[in-house]
Amino acid sequence: MKVAFVGKGGSGKTTLTSLFAAYLTGTGHPVLAIDADINQHLAVALGASAGEASALPTLGEHLPLIKDWLRGDNPRITSAEAMIKTTPPGRGSRLVRPFEDNPVMDACFRDVAGVRLGVTGQFTEDDLGVSCYHSKVGAAELLLNHLVDDAGEYVVMDMTAGADAFASGLFTRFDVTFLVCEPTLRSVGVYRQYAEYARDFGVRLAVVGNKVTDDEDVEFLREQLGSDLVCWLRTSGHVRAAERGRARPIDALEPHNLEALATIRSTVDSASRDWAKFHRQAVEFHLRNARSWGNERTGEDLAGQVDPEFVPGPPALAGA
């Protein structure tokens, strides 16, 4: 299953991403995680040192490799340079599995506390004033469009804050999107904005309350969020210790918070994916981006990259 954590900046979405990833690995499930937040804190949240985190390879710096590998021998894609962040796979494209070994996975992902982690990368000095962060997140979007996960495999992404995710079609790439919400009006406001944008695209949105201190906080979240609220985490000494650099095993997390992680997993496991819809949305956003800027930038009509008879998924992978 593909899972995203979103929310207002500072709401704790990176913390929730790391806790959920640790919970899954602690119960024996393979996890591929991608840090697509501009602040790039997921590696440290998982237990890496600051030095180890800064030494990780990035998806952004390996974008040419990613494009060339995923393109394969798809005749509809004239060159790797003609691929943009939304280019969908077709016959001849390389579909990848989350835990296989291939040049992209070997170059871009590293094991951190039992999680296969990739990071989009921070701004460099050359980026300042000339690039938006979505130029780096585009590498992750391209990879997700070609990533075929199967039963018992989890792909977890820490997304950009607030509604920034809607700057591309990335927000449609997940089976469940968890919005992390503090018991404040500002955080609830981000939820309402996200829910409004996501509604027309059939995004399955669930809300996880965070930084809850008492029953009054719970009642506030229930009043504001209704049935979208699936669980909440209380203020955690376990999390504070980790933020001070003293990581503890996931089974030392407070019982109520462990129950919340179990609820998140059951919510994910109850979802099902329609591969045809998944691909149809990828094509829709590709055509939007092609018309808006892609055709002009590449000098090609990128609508020609769409293979109308192709649907990704395990059957397509088996026939590759």
DSSP string covering 29-88 = --EEEEE-STT--HHHHHT--HHHHHTS-BTGGGHHHHHHHHHTT-TT---GGG--TTPP
The pLDDT of 123-144, averaged and rounded, is 65
134 vs 281, residue with greater confidence = 281
Share of the chain above pLDDT 90, in %: 76
The pLDDT of 162-168, averaged and rounded, is 70
* Lowest-pLDDT range of 32-36, 130-134, 197-201: 130-134
User: What is the DSSP annotation of 158-177?
Assistant: EPPSGGGGGGSGGGGS-SEE
Greatest pairwise CA separation for the chain in angstroms: 59
CA 154 to chain CA mean position, Å? 11
Distances (CA, A) of 72 to 143, 192, 276, 280, 304: 13, 41, 21, 21, 16
| Strand duo 109-112 + 115-119: pairing | antiparallel
Residue with tokens 């798809």: 74
Please indicate, yes or no, whether the overall pTM of this predicted structure exceeds 0.75: yes
Residue 133 — very low, low, confident or very high, per pLDDT cuts 50/70/90?
A: very low
The pLDDT of 268-287, averaged and rounded, is 94
In angstroms, the CA 260 to CA 264 distance is 6
Q: What is the pLDDT of residue 30?
A: 96
Q: With 90 as the cut, is the pLDDT of residue 149 above it? A: yes
The pLDDT of 288-296, averaged and rounded, is 95
The pLDDT of 173-182, averaged and rounded, is 95
Task: Please choose, from the candidates 160, 81, 166, the residue with its C-alpha nearest in 3D space to the C-alpha of residue 123.
Answer: 160
Contact in structure between 266 and 230 (CB atoms under 8 Å): no
Residue 129 — very low, low, confident or very high, per pLDDT cuts 50/70/90?
A: very low
Share of the chain above pLDDT 70, in %: 94
Q: What are phi and psi of 30, to 5 degrees?
A: -75, 140
Tokens at 218, concatenated: 């719970």
Q: What is the pLDDT of residue 249?
A: 86
Within a 10 A sphere around the Cβ of 9, how many other Cβ atoms? 14
Q: What is the pLDDT of residue 116?
A: 98
Q: With 60 as the cut, is the pLDDT of residue 126 above it? A: no
Domains recognised in the chain with CATH numbers: 2-318 (3.40.50.300)
In angstroms, the CA 190 to CA 179 distance is 9
Model confidence pLDDT, tens digit, residues 310-320: 999 888 876 65
